[in-house]
Amino acid sequence: MWPADAESPAPAPRFWRDAALPFIELRSVADGRRVCYAPHSHDTFSVGVITGGISTYANGRLRERVGPGAVVVVNPEDVHACNPVDGQPWSYHMLFLDTAWLARQQAALGLGDGRQMRPFATPATRDPLLAVGLIRLQSVLHDRQADRLEKESAAVEFAARLQARLDPAPVSAGPDDRLARAAEFIADNCTRPLSLGDICAAAGLSESYLIRAFQRRYGLTPHAYLIDRRIRYSRARLRRGHPIAEVAADAGFADQAHLHRAFKRLVAATPGQYRA
């Protein structure tokens, strides 16, 4: 665990990205006292390791406290959040892997046909081989002397370790097609103003059914789902270096301050920290 001074501001989260390895992103937090997330989801597969302190972890129906050595596993689209306990320091590394890339790694191991990632069944584990493997991978990614081949090889090795240590999720029945159409409509039109009427017309649903059923299926209200997709859009634009004010306008936020507030709630970092 990194040392933390309760009287000093917590350090900003540290992001790692490389244009040569676009399928992987890493976030490292040395002191998460003020790193608070609202429930959110990712279009990537996410796996993290707690390196110090205690935090609360919520993923679907799971609610538990996790400490050093715990590994959290978040499938794409799973609504989740991880937050500090009583303002106490905690630290972690979180890895984000592109699902198409991970599907190809699974296919190379004889798991699936490579067209779609196979999700995992376990949302949290204390497997020491996974914890050590993720800590080792983040060290390689942050190493300025490690070249592309070394970093890519380390990522492939860790992906193989995931398959060996985690059970696949059982195949489940698909959701209500109308709810899926509603979610797809929101995602496809997230940068423009939407009304309940717009969504219901596209999906063939009544407003009352949409409000009741959407959150049960996706873990977010239609409005929260819209903001979640706008933040995903904003992250992609920021990674490509677009100005924050431009991103705010393009993503459908009222102004830069509106983007800032939403970004802090869902990413637990400012747009400027993430862009840097």
- Is the distance from CB of 118 to CB of 106 less than 8 angstroms? yes
Distances (CA, A) of 35 to 54, 81, 226: 13, 11, 22
Both structure tokens of 111: 């798991």
Centroid of chain to Cα 232: 9
- Predicted TM-score of the model (pTM): 0.84
In sign, the C-alpha dihedral spanning 252, 256, 261, 263 is: positive
Q: Which of 57-66, 118-127, 133-142, 166-175 has the lowest average pLDDT?
A: 166-175
Domains defined for the chain, CATH in brackets: 14-165 (2.60.120.280), 177-275 (1.10.10.60)
What is the average pLDDT across 266-276? 92
Kindly tell me if the per-residue pLDDT of 9 is higher than 70. Answer: no
What is the token pair recorded at 114?
């490579």
Instruction: Please report, rounded to a whole number, the percentage of residues in the chain having pLDDT higher than 70.
Output: 94
- Per the structure block, which two tokens stand in for 264? 């802090």
Count of Cβ atoms closer than 10 Å to residue 150 Cβ: 13
Cβ-in-10-Å burial (0-12, 13-18, 19+) of 51 comes to buried
Identify which of 137, 140, 133, 138 has the alpha carbon closest to the alpha carbon of residue 163.
133
